Amino acid sequence: MGREGAIVAAYAAALDSDFSAVLLSGGFQERTNVWTLPLDHHQWGVLKYFGDAEIASLIAPQPLVVETPSNYPGLPLDSSWREYMRAHAHYAALGLSNHILFAAPAGGASVAGSPPALDAFAACFDLPTGVTLTCAAALTTTYTSVTAMHSLFAELQDWLQLLATHSYLARNEFFWQRLATNSLAAYETSCAPLRDELIHDMLGAFPPPDIPLKVWSSVYASNALCTTYNVLMTLYTNVNAYGLLNVPNGIAPGERRPCVICQHGLEGTPPDVSDDRLTNVYHAFALRLAEQGFVTFAPQNPVTYWAAIRTIQRQAIALRRDLFGAVLRQHQRHLDFLSSLPFVNSNAFGLYGLSYGGYCALWTGAPETRYAAIVCAGKFTDWTRKCTALDHGSSYLFVAATWTPEYDLWHFDVLNRYSDAELAALIAPRPFMVEMGNNDNVPVLHWATNEYAKVAQLYADLGIPAKTRMDVFDGGHEIHGVASFAFLSEFLVPEPHGVIFFTIVALIRWRRSRPSLYQCRVS
C-alpha cells in the first residue's frame, strides 16, 4: 500500500505470474507527470511503452483491485480512474471484466485499506469478507526496520559498486569487440551500426525539424579583426536556436574559412565564450579563434537555469529520449545554417567545448560526422569513476548534492556501453584532442590519462597516431588555447595556409602563457 509500495507490487506482479491476486492502493494513475515524481519512477521510456494500464495488462489474467483514496497526496482521483478504465479494457478483451475492480473510499478518506477494497481482495482467496484482521505478533528482536534499511542499502551499494567496477567487461563485449581495426575503411564500416545505436538507443533520435530554416541576425560587437553577430534560427515549431557568430574581417570574395563551433559549459551562454569584456574560464576563446582567421559559432545549449535542465531531461527520459538527443539535433541545425554561408568551408567544421561543452563535444561529435576535428576540454575522464566513485570528492555521487543541475546527468545504461574512450572511438579516425589543466578536478588527471590511453592505443592501431593528442597544461578548469589552437589549425586549415596557421597559433599567446606539462602523442 502507499504510492511506492503499490508501484513495487504492480511491477512484481507483472513480472511474476505466481501472484494469485493483486491489491494496489494509492499508486495507480496516469504517468504523464512522471517527471515530477522521485527518480525511482523514471523508467527509460515509461510513457512510450508502459503506463500503469499496460503494467496491469501484464498482471492479467490474475485478479486486480485498484484502490484510490479520495484525498491521497499526489494521486488525483480522476487520473487514477482514467488509467483504470484503460486497464479495464485489457481485462474486458480477455473476457475477464469481473477480475478487475476500482475502489474509492467514500467520504474523502485518505487512508488506504478500505472495506470494499479489502473485501474484494479477500474474495480472490475465498476468504470471509467484512472481517478486520489484526496481527497480535510482536517483534522480540532488536533488529529494527531502520537497521534493516541501512543493511539493505549497504548491500545494494556494494553490489552496484561491483557491477560498476566490472562494467568495462560489458563495454568490451558491447563495443570494442565489434570494431575492426585492420584498415580505416573496415573501421568506419564497423562504427556505423554503433553510431546508429548511439543515436537511437542512447539519445533517442529526435525528429528532423518540422519547419524550414529561417535566420535572423544583428550585430552584437566588432573590433579591428572580426565582427560578432547575434543569430536566431528556427529549429521546430515554436522552438528556436540561438548563438553568436564570429566572422573575421577581410575574407576575400569566394574564400571559404574553416569554422569552429565553440561550446560553453553548464550554466553558460554564448557571450561567455565570445565577449572579451567578460572574465571567466573560457577566456573568450571563440573570439580569439576568430581573430586568428577561423569563423566561429557559439551556440546556446539548453543547459542553464538550474532545475530547468532536470525538467527537460526527466521529461525526455519518460519518452525514451535524452537531453543530448535534442542537443544533437540543435547542432545539426547549426551546421546546416553555417554550411549555407558563402565564406564557410563546410568540409572543415571543428567542435571545441569546455566542461559541459566538452561533454557536448563527445556526445555530439561522436554521432555527427560533419565535425572534422574535435577538442574536448576539461571533461574527458573515466566516466565509470566519475559517476560512481565513493572515494573521491569530485564523483557525481557527491557533486550532485551541492550542484543541483547534475542530478540527472547520467544516460540510460551508459556504463554498460560508453565511457569517454568509447565515444572518442566513434570520433576516430577524425582528429581528436583532450585538453585539461593539471589542477582541474572535474575530469581528475589520473582518471583522464588512464582513459585517454585507450584512445591513443586505438589511433596507433589504426595507423594514425598523430591524429590524437592530450595536452595537460599548468592550470585549472579552463580553456588553454595553445596546443588546441595549433591542433585545429593543423587539421582544419588546408595547405598551404595550414603551415602558416600552425606556426602563428603555436607562437602567439593570447593570454598570460602557461606552458604545457606534457602532450601525450603516440608515435
Query: Comparing C-alpha atoms, which of 70, 79, 77, 75 is closest to residue 111?
Result: 70
Are both 210 and 306 inside the same structural domain?
A: yes
Are both 395 and 259 inside the same structural domain?
A: yes
* Number of neighbouring beta carbons within 10 Å of residue 446: 11
- What is the average per-residue pLDDT within 477-490? 96
Give me the pLDDT at residue 1, please: 60
- What type of residue sits at position 387? C
Task: Establish if 239 belongs to a structural domain.
Answer: yes
- What is the average per-residue pLDDT within 291-318? 85
Are both 207 and 334 inside the same structural domain?
A: yes
Task: Establish if 501 belongs to a structural domain.
Answer: yes
> From edge to edge, which strands make up the β-sheet containing 239-248?
215-222, 226-236, 239-248, 295-299, 257-263, 344-354, 371-377, 432-437, 468-473, 516-520
Cell triple for 337: 545554417
- Give pLDDT tens digits for 37-55: 877 777 888 888 889 999 9
Given a cut of 80, is residue 7 above it in pLDDT? Answer: yes
- What is the average per-residue pLDDT within 492-507? 58
Are both 382 and 257 inside the same structural domain?
A: yes
Give the CATH number for residue 442: 3.40.50.1820
Binned at pLDDT 50, 70 and 90, residue 85 comes out as very high
Given a cut of 50, is residue 433 above it in pLDDT? Answer: yes
Query: Comparing C-alpha atoms, which of 316, 350, 427, 446 is closest to residue 46?
Result: 316
> From edge to edge, which strands make up the β-sheet containing 64-67?
22-25, 64-67, 100-103
Task: Establish if 20 belongs to a structural domain.
Answer: yes
Are both 364 and 469 inside the same structural domain?
A: yes
Task: Establish if 179 belongs to a structural domain.
Answer: no
Given a cut of 60, is residue 168 above it in pLDDT? Answer: yes
Give me the pLDDT at residue 502, please: 43
**C-alpha span between 194 and 197 (Å, rounded):** 5
Query: Comparing C-alpha atoms, which of 385, 521, 356 is closest to residue 448?
Result: 385
Task: Establish if 184 belongs to a structural domain.
Answer: no
**C-alpha span between 419 and 447 (Å, rounded):** 11
Half-sphere exposure of residue 432: CA atoms within 13 angstroms, side-chain side: 30
Given a cut of 70, is residue 523 above it in pLDDT? Answer: no
Are both 419 and 320 inside the same structural domain?
A: yes
How far from chain centre, in Å, is Cα 350? 21
Give me the pLDDT at residue 436, please: 97
Give me the pLDDT at residue 199, please: 94
Given a cut of 80, is residue 136 above it in pLDDT? Answer: no
Give me the pLDDT at residue 140, please: 53
CA distances from 149 to 3, 9, 41, 154, 155 (A): 18, 18, 20, 9, 10
- What is the average per-residue pLDDT within 24-32? 88
Are both 95 and 240 inside the same structural domain?
A: no
Binned at pLDDT 50, 70 and 90, residue 187 comes out as very high
Does residue 499 or residue 278 have the better pLDDT?
A: 278
**C-alpha span between 250 and 266 (Å, rounded):** 34
Q: Of 123, 144, 166, which residue is a domain's last?
A: 123
Cell triple for 298: 557559439
Give me the pLDDT at residue 414, please: 92
Which single residue is written with the C-alpha cell 509500495? 5
Given a cut of 60, is residue 497 above it in pLDDT? Answer: no
Give me the pLDDT at residue 408, please: 60
Cell triple for 501: 596557421
Are both 417 and 322 inside the same structural domain?
A: yes
- Give pLDDT tens digits for 224-276: 999 999 999 999 999 999 999 999 999 999 999 999 999 999 889 999 999 99
Are both 119 and 196 inside the same structural domain?
A: no
- Give pLDDT tens digits for 384-426: 999 888 888 888 877 655 555 555 667 889 999 999 999 999 9
Give me the pLDDT at residue 359, please: 94
CA atoms 70, 75, 78, 80: torsion sign:
negative
Give me the pLDDT at residue 92, please: 96
Report the chain's mean pLDDT, rounded to a whole number: 87
Q: Of 75, 93, 123, which residue is a domain's last?
A: 123
Which single residue is written with the C-alpha cell 575530469? 443
Query: Comparing C-alpha atoms, which of 377, 411, 366, 372 is closest to residue 268?
Result: 377
**C-alpha span between 488 and 507 (Å, rounded):** 14
Lowest mean pLDDT among 267-271, 285-289, 469-473, 519-523: 519-523
Are both 455 and 316 inside the same structural domain?
A: yes
Task: Establish if 133 belongs to a structural domain.
Answer: no
Give me the pLDDT at residue 105, please: 73
**C-alpha span between 411 and 366 (Å, rounded):** 15
- What is the average per-residue pLDDT within 209-227? 96
- What is the average per-residue pLDDT within 344-367? 96
Range of the domain at 472: 192-520
Give me the pLDDT at residue 135, please: 43
**C-alpha span between 50 and 320 (Å, rounded):** 11
Given a cut of 70, is residue 141 above it in pLDDT? Answer: no
Task: Establish if 44 belongs to a structural domain.
Answer: yes
Given a cut of 70, is residue 132 above it in pLDDT? Answer: no
The tally of domains found in the chain comes to: 2
Task: Establish if 445 belongs to a structural domain.
Answer: yes
Binned at pLDDT 50, 70 and 90, residue 129 comes out as confident
Query: Would you call 298 helix, strand, or coil by DSSP?
Result: strand
**Bridge-partner residues for 101, per DSSP?**
65
**C-alpha span between 384 and 367 (Å, rounded):** 21
Are both 118 and 210 inside the same structural domain?
A: no
Are both 118 and 245 inside the same structural domain?
A: no
Q: Of 83, 108, 123, which residue is a domain's last?
A: 123
